[in-house]
Amino acid sequence: MLELSSFFRTLHFPLIDSTQLYAETHIDDLVENEWRAIIADQQLKGQGTHGRPWCSPAGNLSATFSIKISSKNIPFKNLTKIPQLVAICIMQVLKEFGLDPQYKWVNDIFLKEKKVAGILCSSRSDNNGNTIIHIGTGMNVTLSTKECSEISQPTTSLNLELDSPVSVALVLDKLKKILATHFNHFLNYGQLLFQEELNSRLAFKNTSIIFELQNKNKDIIEGVLRGVDENGFIIIERADTGQRETFVTGRILKLTHVSEKS
């Protein structure tokens, strides 16, 4: 059984363009089976999914966790599950604060239908038979009501939802511990701890949605979101055929109307 180190070698930056970009361009100092954490107080060019920017003012959690693992220890098919693994970890952190998070496939965490955290994962192989994984996450911790109102989508922060404020350091410490535990289990068994959380907390489940495929034409389909399968793929019951199909990539654009029964 392979056991990754639970220690995170941490590099802290008061100001940086992007923790994800730094992580992806500084892989030579990664040590096999040891975590590295790139932490920033503020990002100038925070990266979101699908090339969108991530608002990263001072006082929130901006981090990228990197790990180098022998490719023989992590099958390629398991890489698609990593965003779901991270989503579960973030939800576990929020639950420890007494909050009730929701998971929006594939990279967002919501509180009360407002975005509180985002996930950006990438992986690559090096020339020595290793897989390098970067797990980026941004979490709104101290964002004010005014700052939230200036973002183009409904947004909230931990301290707006909690009776007593929490520090970024405390949130980061909890996330590191949970991530190390869950990733070790995932690496050894190929399964996610608390995988049922993905469906029990899935935003818009059994609701009609418009879904954009990540193909050349960015085709649009309509259907009912039925869940997430064991590989982390989204399950949609298509409106045009009535058939359930799974999709590896894509994004939920919007709801079309009220919830439907399963």
Q: Which residues pair with 137 in a beta bridge?
A: 63, 119
Q: Are residues 151 and 73 in the same domain?
A: yes
pLDDT in tens, 199-239: 999 999 999 999 999 888 889 999 999 999 988 899 999 99
Digit-coded pLDDT (tens) for 166-209: 999 999 999 999 999 999 999 999 888 888 889 999 999 999 99
Same domain, yes or no: 174 and 243: no
Q: Among 182, 200, 218, which residue terminates a domain?
A: 200
Check which CATH number belongs to the domain holding 45 and give it.
3.30.930.10
Q: What is the pTM of this model?
A: 0.91
State yes or no: pLDDT of 4 exceeds 90.
no
pLDDT confidence bin for 145, thresholds 50/70/90: very high
| pLDDT > 60? residue 257 | no
- Are 121 and 112 within 8 A, CB to CB? no
List, for residues 78-118, the tens digit of each pLDDT value: 998 999 999 999 999 999 999 999 999 989 999 999 999 99
Q: What is the CATH number of the domain that holds 228?
A: 2.30.30.100
Q: Are residues 123 and 168 in the same domain?
A: yes
Average pLDDT over residues 108-130: 94
For all residues of the chain together, what is the average pLDDT? 90
pLDDT at position 45: 62
For residue 142, give its domain range: 8-200
Is the domain of 16 the same as that of 138?
A: yes
Q: What is the mean pLDDT of residues 41-58?
A: 66
Q: Are residues 239 and 144 in the same domain?
A: no
> Are 31 and 136 within one domain?
yes
User: So what's the pLDDT on residue 126?
Assistant: 92
Asked whether residue 1 is domain-assigned, the answer is: no
Please give the share of the chain, as a percent, with pLDDT higher than 70: 92
* DSSP 8-state code for residue 54: -
Could you tell me if 139 and 56 are in contact, meaning their C-beta atoms sit under 8 angstroms apart?
no
Q: How high is the pLDDT of residue 260?
A: 45
- Do 53 and 177 reside in the same domain of the chain? yes
162 has a pLDDT exceeding 60 = yes
pLDDT score of 255 more than 80: no
Q: Where are the beta strands (DSSP E) in the chain?
A: 8-13, 35-40, 61-70, 101-104, 108-111, 114-125, 130-139, 207-212, 220-228, 234-238, 244-247, 251-259
Question: How many domains, in total, are found in the chain?
Answer: 2
Same domain, 125 and 247: no
